[in-house]
Amino acid sequence: MAESHETTGGTLQCIVVTPETTILDEPAEFVAVPLYDGELGIAAGHTPLLGRLGYGELRIRKGASLQRFYVDGGFVEVVDDVVTVLTNNAMPADQVDPAVAAERLSAALARPAHTPELMEIRDRWWRSRGRNCGSRGTGNNGGATAVGRPAARILNPME
């Protein structure tokens, strides 16, 4: 970030930014962020890092005060006692409607993880790279899964 934030012993500067606005820019003693693969607690003097945010609760503590936000993925950067959270959406936790959240969760769980169209796009991409979609797997099943479909492989753009 171009701005410089001064912190005094034992404090962080916490900045939460969405594409539309800066949600928060305040000092804090401790910040807990939901990472893609767990949760991370950050106090003053933390090692610099860049992490991928998951979906969940962001907690910011200063003294007896605790602020809680729901964040919708993104990234977190920690440098020189400044915690910068870049997210698509940040909403104060007390504004989350449990009924709406449960409805959206049910709808998301009902959707298939992979549609036939997405699988066809993936297979066309592999064929364009000169690879046979049916022989990517491991083991002696010719790359097929238990139901006879080609085994999935993580796409590596560096190949």
Say how far apart CA 22 and CA 25 lie, in whole Å. Answer: 7
> Whole-prediction pTM value?
0.63
In the chain, the DSSP E strands lie at 12-17, 22-28, 30-35, 38-43, 49-62, 65-79, 82-86, 90-92
Q: Which domains does the chain have, with CATH numbers?
A: 12-94 (2.60.15.10), 97-138 (no CATH)
Could you list the pLDDT tens digit for every one of the 159 residues in the chain?
444 444 445 899 999 999 999 999 999 999 999 998 899 999 999 999 999 999 899 999 999 999 999 998 899 999 999 999 999 999 998 888 889 888 888 887 888 778 888 888 888 888 888 766 554 444 444 444 444 455 555 554 554
Strands 90-92 and 65-79, bridge-based pairing: antiparallel
